[in-house]
Chains A and B, each alone.
Chain A
Amino acid sequence: MHKRLCVAFVAGPLYLLVLTSAICAETTLLNASYEPTRRFYSAVNKAFAARWQQQHGSRIVIYQSHAGSGAQARAVSFGLEADVVTLALAYDVDAIVERAGLIAQNWQQRLPDNSAPYTSTIVFLVRKGNPKQIHDWPDLARPGVGVVTPNPKTSGGARWNFMAAWGYAMRHYDNDERRAREFLARIYGNAPVLDTGARGATITFTRRGIGDVLIAWENEALLAAREINPDDFEIVVPSISILAEPSVAIVDKVVDRRGTRQAAEAYLKFLYSGEGQQLAAEHYFRPRAKEILEQHLERFTKVELMEIAAFGGWKQVQKIHFSDGGTFDRIYGSASATK
């Protein structure tokens, strides 16, 4: 009796294990991405796998890992074996190049549009009815307004947020850096918490009811306002924002070691294809393909967009603002007790 019990005890789970396992050999890719893209890549992976099956007759499985863009870059540098990275900004990909040499130096020129298959921008998400009357950047610096934004040290979206605010401040204060810093210090002083990633900030604002305004990716704001809680939130587009270009790249060392270069390249090229661009638009990203952008124009508000090049490019920006002792450290250290 005991023997049978023991056998059943062990054999049962093993049987289940085998049953649910993929039995046939297959190619696998790991895509390390930033936080808001889970649904998007879920759809992309399905579509790409179907196309790959059609074209090559073999199975391909794409695994996803999501975290703050900066944190993800560090993880990949530290050994997270991603075949491709689809991060929030070019600098995080550059960080992998510099820190660990896993990606070729010329990665950005290997794909069209600076390796950014879609773009987005930064907008505000406020509670329905806009009770605190938030219309533009200065309202975020008002006392008594709770601002939710992620931590620039780990989140890519957070750094776009910061630069959008900085761009406004510089224009508003005629390039007076001191006053711009004060302006940003006031905004970050209004931030009760800095989440590690953009999705974390969205959850803090929408689910936990913290804060009066969320500085968010346009796609996150649209997702929240249109699909998740349409009755609770509305989008406010500021007078000026930034052109956010999330970058994608193959991790050369990894694909060469795993022999997945062909699949990885096809995967990234898929993002530029009609199907990929259509999926991007459906998930509230601004596609590069003009025709598809035209079809979805109603969801993307026209807004004046600054470019990161105007600030000297990401390498420069990272050094001045987000490195240790940079602008963010200076204003946040004084603004809050959080470490």
Chain B
Amino acid sequence: MARASDATTDLGRVPALSESRGVRAVLIAVAAGFFLLFLLLPLLVVFVEALRQGLYAYWAGLTEPETLAAMRLTLLTAIVVVPINTLFGIAAAWAVTKFNFAGKNLLITLIDVPFSVSPVIGGMVFVLLFGLPGLLGPWLAAHDIKIIFAVPGVIIATLFVTSPFVARELIPLMQKQGTDQEEAALMLGANGLQTFLRITLPNIKWGLLYGVLLCNGRAIGEFGAVAVVSGHIMGLTNTMPLHVEVLYNDFNFVAAFAVASLLVMMAFATLVLKTALEARAAWKYPTLP
């Protein structure tokens, strides 16, 4: 069966099996132009602006105490959020792909909800719940528990926004793999935990890593949801993306783009790891359904 990915150059001799050279060239040019315009240029701008006043100003922008605090909060958020959502993803994927039950499809849809909702709404719902004018506000204030305008709020909002990522990678993968291997293991005498660790986990490891990678990327980069709950306390509740906005609105362009360049490099690392994982696993993981 001839695959579409077979080289087209030799097929170009059969005229109707591929577009003419001219058309090909035009299409490639259009694609490249679109790519350049919408992907490469914005990236370039970040680094050009960050280095506009030289390496020293760039470094100074990155090492301001408030910027370092923002980096700490971003790291903390990622460290807390990613494992929790990984566990959730595994549990959800297990429940949904290994068993059959009424409402399964509804559950799968529900898992996807945070992905399709505006991040501003994702943050706002927690302000409604935990903010002082909100539902639990007075109770929290009475017990001196701070969620909104404090770090827990930032973490909870990020949990909401990144919750589907691991599950969405695992579900199609585990659906494809079915339950035969697990059942065989059970019949051979393994208990549940052993089955999971020795059979399932190795099968899903690349998908799992992939989902963790995407979850991490989003946890680091989340802006809208966190902007609503954080209170913008510089040095305390500003994550790196929020701090970029603060610096930018204070006309501190070099520092803003310097921090942005750091985030770009992290995004690059995500992409590189993603490509490496795909090469390793020899099939393409969907970033999207």
* Contact in complex: B141, A13 (CB < 8 Å): no
Q: How far, in whole Å, are A203 and B231 apart by their CA atoms in the complex? A: 20
Q: Which residues, 1 to 18 on A, are CB-close (under 8 Å) to B?
A: 2, 10, 13-14, 16-17
A13 and B236 contact, CB distance less than 8 A: no
User: How close is A77's CB to chain B, nearest CB, in angstroms?
Assistant: 8
Partner of B146, one of A10, A65, A79: A79
Number of residues in B with C-beta < 8 Å to the partner? 27
**Using a Cβ cutoff of 8 Å, how many contacts connect chains A and B?**
58
* CB-defined contacts of B251 to chain A, threshold 8 Å: 227-228
Determine if A303 is an interface residue (Cβ-Cβ < 8 Å): no
Which residues of the other chain, A, contact B232 by a CB distance below 8 angstroms?
65-67
A2 touches B249 (CB 8 A): no
Q: Are A63 and B236 in contact (CB under 8 A)?
A: yes
Q: Tell whether, in the assembled complex, residue B133 and residue A75 are in contact, meaning their CB atoms are under 8 Å apart.
A: no
Contacts of B234 in A (CB 8 A): 63-66
Cβ-defined partner of B231 (8 Å) among A13, A80, A200: A80
With both beta carbons as reference points, the residue of chain A lying nearest to B253 in the complex is identified as A228
Residues of A within 8 A of B205 (CB): 2
B186 CB, min distance to chain A CBs, angstroms: 23
* Chain B residues whose CB sits within 8 angstroms of the CB of A64 once the complex forms: 233-235
* Bound CA span A233–B235, Å: 33
> Does B250 interact with chain A (Cβ within 8 Å)?
yes
The CA-CA distance from A37 to B78 in the complex, in Å, is 31
Cα distance A227–B250 in the bound complex, in angstroms:
12
Please determine whether A65 and B249 come into contact, CB atoms closer than 8 angstroms: no
> B79 to A17, Cβ gap below 8 A?
yes
Contact residues of A between 128 and 149, Cβ < 8 Å to B? none
Q: Is the CB of A17 within 8 A of B75?
A: yes
Chain A residues with CB under 8 Å of B231's CB are 65, 75, 80
- Which residues from A are CB-within-8-Å of B137? 78-79
B residues at A contact (CB < 8 Å): 65, 68, 71-72, 75-76, 78-79, 131-133, 137, 141, 146, 148-149, 205, 231-236, 246, 249-251
Which listed residue (A39, A75, A203) contacts B149, Cβ 8 A? A75
Given the known interface contacts A38-B250, A39-B250, the answer about A13 and B79 at a Cβ–Cβ threshold of 8 Å is yes
Bound CA–CA A111/B101 (angstroms): 69
- With both chains docked as a complex, state the minimum distance between the C-beta of A46 and any C-beta of chain B, in angstroms: 9
Q: Is the CB of B146 within 8 A of A81?
A: yes
Is A104 interfacial (CB 8 A cutoff)? Answer: no
Q: For the complex, give the distance between the alpha carbons of A280 and B71 in Å.
A: 30
Q: Tell me the bound Cα distance from A267 to B197 in angstroms.
A: 57
Cβ contacts under 8 Å, A2 to chain B: 205
Residues B133 and A199 in contact, CB atoms below 8 Å apart: no
A142 to chain B: closest CB distance in Å?
30
The digit string for A21-62, where 1 denotes a CB below 8 A from any CB of B, is 100000000100000001100000000000000000000010
Given contact pairs A16-B75, A79-B141, A199-B249, a sample of 8 additional A-B residue pairs in the complex whose CB atoms are under 8 Å apart: A13-B78, A63-B236, A65-B233, A66-B232, A78-B132, A79-B132, A80-B231, A80-B233
Is A109 part of the contact surface with B, judged by Cβ < 8 Å? Answer: no
Nearest Cβ in chain A — how far from B238, in angstroms?
10
**Interface CB pairs A-B, < 8 A, 17:** A13-B75, A13-B78, A17-B75, A17-B76, A61-B65, A63-B233, A64-B233, A65-B232, A65-B233, A66-B234, A67-B232, A75-B149, A78-B131, A79-B141, A79-B146, A79-B148, A203-B249
* Contacts known (A14-B79, A38-B250); A20 close to B71, Cβ less than 8 A: yes
**A53: min CB distance to chain B, Å:** 14
Q: Which residues of A contact B75 (CB under 8 A)?
A: 13, 16-17
Nearest 7 CB-CB pairs, A to B?
Answer: A78-B132, A65-B233, A63-B235, A64-B234, A79-B132, A63-B236, A228-B251
Complex: A96 Cα to B229 Cα, angstroms: 21
Tell me which residues across on chain B come within 8 A of A199, comparing CB atoms. Answer: 249-250
Q: State in angstroms the CA–CA spacing of A65 and B76 once bound together.
A: 20
Chain B residue at minimum C-beta to C-beta distance from A41: B234
Within 62-106 of A, Cβ neighbours of B (below 8 Å) are at 63-67, 75, 78-81
* Min distance, Cβ B81 to any Cβ of chain A, angstroms: 12
